[in-house]
């Protein structure tokens, strides 16, 4: 009732406000201007979102674990509950969706939601195949003027990301030549878990499998703590992309934010011996990134699980940085982690006279609260830092590393067409096959 009154008064006053898909009025925390949000996945990572949503309306909850669903329903007694997100997305009063389910459903939920005119916050990784990354991104680009999207790469809110970008762009290391990002997480697994028992009554296992090929139930897939259960399934090809999509989504972001990259033209990768069930623990993937309007073509490399870039000098041990990035320029290196950075000038010309630090007012303005930025974007600004364009090209690139690894040779990529042009086997690895009833672009 209150909401209707507010709508009426907004109409009478003629305020130039943005009307959201359900008729909600834009304007942060405006009375009646709250978002109507549906959550896919309500436990684990989802718990980290509750606080930033406290001023919004949670009108729909979906989880394949009915115990988790019942707990969330106690917190949001007014919300409708679902075990199947496809049904939740038909709820008519939704404005926006937050997706915190398993990786192999992210691109589906995101695309279906955008196709229904809904804003989306999707946890990382945004996609589990090249095709998924492209469809999510293209669907967003089609709707860019009306939908707000954000990918759960919340470390991006640390101001260190901006400072690194400014150093690179302002020439603190001269002309950019190469960049690396790496992560040291290792979760080796022998293969999909063997069949063990029956799914408990509260767990909709078939819906958890969703679009992926069926694998037998094993309680091990659900045995992790809140927010860390993804480490029980994300290394299996049908459920995730291992550290490429996991910490890779956060750590490559340190580099991606500073190099203004599109997709690579060619990719080489090496790593552990190929396993049909499990993504590699160790992987090194090198991407040839085309030049842009401020830098030449560069090599970008992702290292994980023991692979590492060479130390810039013996006294700098990159192995001490669990998740980090390094940039090499014509006159220096930048070495960084998520919150700190180090500039190392090198060579005769490296006197730093060519570099003028920015005045305070010329620094990138802090983005503020990461989830909050998306809420504000849904209410009118439409401005988000890790939207599905930015995060889509990044995950497409990262996943191409796994394609080159499987192809076991250098592959050339036509980003406009989304095709590997010189290796039919690799081209065949750009898509996943889905079970009936789970189309990607639904
Ligand atoms: N941004 C970050 O820093 C961060 C941190 C942790 C996890 N994550 C991401 O969040 C996602 C979830 O991770 P998690 O550890 O919470 O996993 P999880 O296995 O605990 O799943 C989270 C919740 O989603 C539910 N769920 C799973 N599949 C579903 C489906 N198809 N429909 C509805 N509900 C479903 C689960 O039952 C659970 O309640 C992963 O993609 C992970 O990469 C991001």
Per-residue pLDDT reduced to its tens digit, 38-53: 999 999 999 999 999 9
Which residues constitute the domain of residue 90? 2-154
The pLDDT of residue 442 is 97
The model's pTM is 0.94
Does the CB atom of residue 135 touch ligand 1 within 6 A? no
102 with 117, same domain?
yes
173 with 307, same domain?
yes
21 with 103, same domain?
yes
Substitution candidate for ligand 1 out of 63, 65, 101, 207 with most atoms within 8 A of CB: 101
Residue whose tokens read 């469809």: 135
Contact 395, 127 (CB under 8 A): yes
Substitution candidate for ligand 1 out of 230, 231, 242, 391 with most atoms within 8 A of CB: 230
Over the range 332-344, which residues count as b (16 or more CB within 10 Å of their CB) and which as e? Answer: bbbbbbbeebebb
Does the CB atom of residue 64 touch ligand 1 within 6 A? yes
Residue whose tokens read 């599109």: 262
Domain CATH for 341: 3.30.360.10
Q: Which atom of ligand 1 is nearest to the CA of 65?
A: 37
323 with 351, same domain?
yes
Distance CA 147, CA 59 (A): 19
Distance of CA 102 to the CA centre of its chain: 12
pLDDT tens profile 161-199: 999 999 999 999 999 999 999 999 999 999 999 999 999
By residue count, the chain amounts to 442
In a domain, 421, yes or no: yes
In a domain, 292, yes or no: yes
The pLDDT of residue 410 is 98
Confidence of residue 11 (pLDDT cuts 50, 70, 90): very low
Residue whose tokens read 């930015």: 390
Strand order, beta sheet including 119-122: 80-82, 57-62, 36-40, 96-99, 119-122, 149-151
Confidence of residue 287 (pLDDT cuts 50, 70, 90): very high
Distance CA 110, CA 121 (A): 8
In a domain, 249, yes or no: yes
pLDDT tens profile 321-354: 999 999 999 999 999 999 999 999 999 999 999 9
- Predicted confidence (pLDDT) at residue 27 exceeds the cutoff of 80: no
In a domain, 39, yes or no: yes
Share of the chain above pLDDT 70, in %: 93
The pLDDT of residue 20 is 55
169 with 107, same domain?
no
257 with 350, same domain?
yes
Q: What is the mean pLDDT of the chain?
A: 94
- Predicted confidence (pLDDT) at residue 416 exceeds the cutoff of 80: yes
**Count of domains for the chain:** 2
- Predicted confidence (pLDDT) at residue 15 exceeds the cutoff of 50: no
| Residue finishing a domain among 133, 154, 175 | 154
Distance CA 102, CA 207 (A): 11
131 with 276, same domain?
no
Categorise residue 114: left if φ over 0, alpha if ψ from -120 to 50, beta otherwise.
alpha
């Amino acid at each position: 009732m209150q909401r209707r009154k507010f709508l009426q008064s907004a109409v009478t006053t003629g305020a130039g406000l943005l009307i959201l898909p359900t008729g909600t009025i834009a304007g942060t925390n405006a009375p009646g201007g709250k978002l109507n949000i549906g959550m896919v996945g309500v436990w684990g990572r989802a718990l980290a979102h509750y606080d930033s949503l406290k001023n919004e309306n949670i009108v729909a909850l979906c989880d394949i674990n009915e115990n988790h669903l019942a707990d969330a329903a106690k917190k949001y007694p007014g919300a409708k509950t679902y075990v199947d997100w496809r049904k939740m997305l038909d709820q008519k009063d939704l404005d926006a969706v937050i997706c915190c389910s398993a990786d192999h459903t992210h691109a589906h939920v995101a695309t279906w939601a955008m196709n229904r005119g809904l804003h989306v916050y999707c946890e990382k990784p945004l996609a589990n195949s090249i095709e998924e990354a492209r469809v999510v991104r293209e669907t967003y680009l089609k709707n860019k003027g009306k939908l707000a999207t954000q990918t759960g790469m919340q470390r991006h809110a640390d101001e260190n990301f901006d400072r690194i970008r400014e150093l690179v762009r302002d020439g603190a290391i001269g002309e950019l030549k190469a960049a690396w990002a790496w992560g040291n997480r290792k979760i080796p697994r022998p293969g999909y878990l063997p069949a063990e028992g029956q799914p408990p009554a509260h767990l909709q296992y078939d819906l958890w499998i969703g679009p992926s090929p069926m694998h037998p139930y094993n309680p091990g897939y659900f045995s992790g703590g809140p927010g860390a259960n993804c480490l029980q399934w994300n290394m299996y090809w049908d459920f995730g992309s291992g550290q490429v999509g996991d910490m890779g989504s956060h750590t490559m972001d340190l580099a991606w934010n500073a190099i203004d990259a599109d997709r690579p033209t060619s990719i080489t990768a090496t790593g552990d011996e190929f396993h049909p069930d499990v993504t590699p623990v160790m992987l090194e993937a090198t991407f040839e990134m085309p030049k842009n309007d401020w830098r030449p073509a560069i090599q970008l490399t992702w290292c994980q699980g023991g692979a590492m870039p060479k130390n810039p000098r013996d006294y700098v041990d990159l192995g001490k940085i669990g998740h980090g990035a390094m940039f090499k320029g014509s006159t220096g290196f930048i070495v960084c982690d998520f919150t700190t950075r180090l500039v190392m000038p090198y060579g005769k010309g490296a006197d730093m006279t060519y570099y003028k630090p920015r005045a305070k007012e010329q620094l990138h303005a802090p983005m503020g609260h990461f989830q909050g930025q998306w809420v504000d974007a849904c209410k009118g600004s439409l401005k988000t830092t890790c939207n599905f364009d930015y995060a889509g090209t990044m995950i497409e690139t990262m996943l191409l590393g796994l394609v080159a690894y499987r192809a076991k040779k250098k592959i050339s990529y036509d980003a406009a067409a989304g095709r590997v042009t010189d290796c039919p086997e690799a081209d065949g690895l750009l898509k996943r096959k889905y079970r009936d009833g789970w189309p990607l672009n639904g």
